Structure 1
Amino acid sequence: MADTIKSILLLARRDHAEAMRVAAGLTIFGHQVRLVFMDRPVADTPENAEQAELLELAEITPETTVQAEDLPQLDRSRLAEALMSTDVVMSF
């Protein structure tokens, strides 16, 4: 089983709620998941709030490249490091 566990980086660019849902779901299989919000702040919607609860249950702390967010920030250099050190990159 250990050979099938992947390090996965999800880039939430177009659909933040779907990216959160997928990130939480991937942890069921034991994958190490990192979620980065990009492009814009996460909208304060009921759907996003529900998905954020799933992230908490899955023990995923999202990060962001957006300056206005109250989340851990990734600058270009740290984002590049994250991209290079992961097995799989997914974009939503």
Structure 2
Amino acid sequence: MGAPKVLVVLARHDHTEAMRVAAGLTIFGHAVRLIFMGGPVADTPENAVQAESLELADVLPETTVPDQGLPYLDTAGLAAALATAEAVISL
């Protein structure tokens, strides 16, 4: 296995799966940023379980959707996150 990487997971279409993937990538020692897009995260039991996994993995989600109670990324912030990532995964 190579050196740890800085990875960005974009939660565009499937927030639940993106949370699962983001938490799982930390197992390999990668620094992971999870960015929610497209709308608020649904309040479901499945998402609650995945949110716990993110907390255990020390992944602090961010969002491009204003007023969601998470750190907000504007267009410039999103562009900077993508420009500095070694890999981007879109789900």
Scaled by the length of structure 1, what TM-score is found?
0.95
How far 1:4 sits from its partner (Å)?
Answer: 2.5
Are residues 1:21 and 2:20 paired?
yes
Instruction: Give the structure 2 partner of residue 79 of structure 1.
Output: 78
Instruction: Give the structure 2 partner of residue 69 of structure 1.
Output: 68
| SS of residue matched to 1:4 | coil
| SS of residue matched to 1:83 | helix
Give, in whole Å, the separation in 1 of the partners of 2:74 and 2:51: 23
How far 1:5 sits from its partner (Å)?
Answer: 1.1
Give, in whole Å, the separation in 2 of the partners of 1:90 and 1:4: 18
Percent of matched pairs sharing the same residue: 63
Are residues 1:38 and 2:43 paired?
no
Give, in whole Å, the separation in 1 of the partners of 2:29 and 2:52: 19
RMSD between superposed Cα atoms in Å: 0.9
Show structure 2 runs of 5+ residues with no match: none
Deviation readout 1:19-64 (Å, 9 max, x if unpaired): 0000000000000100000000000000000000000000000000
Give, in whole Å, the separation in 1 of the partners of 2:81 and 2:55: 21
Give, in whole Å, the separation in 1 of the partners of 2:43 and 2:66: 16
The 4+ residue runs of structure 1 with deviation greater than 4 A are none
Give, in whole Å, the separation in 2 of the partners of 1:45 and 1:88: 29
Instruction: Give the structure 2 partner of residue 49 of structure 1.
Output: 48
